[in-house]
Amino acid sequence: MTDAETLAKRVREDDLRLHELEDHAEPDVAAEARRLLLEAETDADLETVGEYGFDAADAEANIENMIGAAQVPMGVCGPVGIDGGAADGEYYLPLATTEGALLASVNRGLSVIDSAGGATARVTKSGMTRAPVFRVDGVAEAAETVEWVEDNFETLREAAESTTSHGELLGVEPYVVGDSVYLRFAYDTKDAMGMNMATIATGAACDVVEEETPASLVALSGNLCSDKKPAAVNAVEGRGRSVTADVVIPGEIVEERLHTTAEGIAEANTRKNLIGSAKAGSLGFNAHAANVVGAAFLATGQDEAQVVEGANAITTMDTREGEDRATDLYASVSLASLEVGTVGGGTKLPTQAEALEVMGLRGGGDPAGANADALAEVIAVGALAGELSLLAALSSRHLASAHEELGR
């Protein structure tokens, strides 16, 4: 009997619990034991789940009760030229997805953008947030708490930054609702996505608030952050990185490569992404930004649940007077709350680290934060390409035929 079989038998006999297996064997053996247990109890065949290309020990910080890996096909789009605040040059964009035709569409958009001279991109705001909620007796104590917070920012910053060698507290925005006080802390987390960093730092600051004010902490997260949920506050104030990418595409390229016109794409954007989204009460005014954000997140080891905020984007398409007979197209996408990092979390996993290496953005940047800024700009350009390609397909009425041709 192998070590894995012995461990599986001990779990079946209630001698061990699933989460205790790594205390008795190497991580890969523990994962094998769980597969054996599941195969015996469910009649499932987990042979493919157990075929993964990294040591299970590499994933101990990312998963509990590991049985193997879910393998998502990864492709690449590009290259495309980017003139960014941090990204500068030609970039390939790795994307992991199970949606057929997505990479073909994004690649088409990137090719058109590159033919137009490349895209411009900038991170316009940066700050990871955590918003605890406190209880007070009423509005008088709420006002007292807010006044203390506003007068003692340096005290809060000292407490918060004592927990990290990288994070910097940028600001604290108070909100009062009856006898509840919310404090929205915002941090510069450099090249880390920074959610854990912000949480730990805010916990230390909350201790000071409780000591110095009448407020009592109820929850370290009061949902005004707002993490992994659709929220207008992120659309307005931003979270993580707010990033915009744009391009001007000559009218002749629009007609020759996208088989439509600048006027047609602009009208489709207005009626679909702006008016249609407004009628639907959407927080995102875009065609499918989540497609590129989600695929890029899976490829590069980001927190996949934060695609919710990453899809909080507005796409604009306008006509510009061109030098030739055809009207040029101005296209942009602005992502208000793109939460990305190049260090920590899933970025350390071998497959995801390799995807970051494709872009030259693995690990910390110089200066600190530069790599995460560049990643945000590259993803924004990818999202712009996806918007451009889909709107062109809709405008030219080629969407259905394109999917049919690719067999999707």
Give the residue numbers marked as catalytic. Answer: 99, 303, 403
- For 25-51, letters b (16+ CB in 10 Å) and e give bebbbbbbbbbbbbbeeeeeebeebbe
Torsional class of 305: left (φ above 0), alpha (ψ -120 to 50), beta (otherwise)? alpha
Residue type, 118: G
Q: Is 154 helix (H, G, I), strand (E, B) or coil?
A: helix
Pairing of strands 74-84, 119-130: parallel
Compute φ and ψ for 398, nearest 5 degrees: -105, 0
Q: Is 397 helix (H, G, I), strand (E, B) or coil?
A: coil
Q: Which residues contact 160 (CB under 8 A, 6 or more apart)?
A: 167, 169, 185, 187, 201, 202, 204, 205
Give me the DSSP letters along 225-287: S--SS--HHHHHH--EEEEEEEEEE-HHHHHHHHSS-HHHHHHHIIIIIIIIHHHHT-S-BSS
Q: Is 222 helix (H, G, I), strand (E, B) or coil?
A: coil
Q: Is 382 helix (H, G, I), strand (E, B) or coil?
A: helix
Q: Which residues contact 382 (CB under 8 A, 6 or more apart)?
A: 77, 93, 95, 106, 110, 292, 296
The tokens 């705001």 sit on which residue? 125
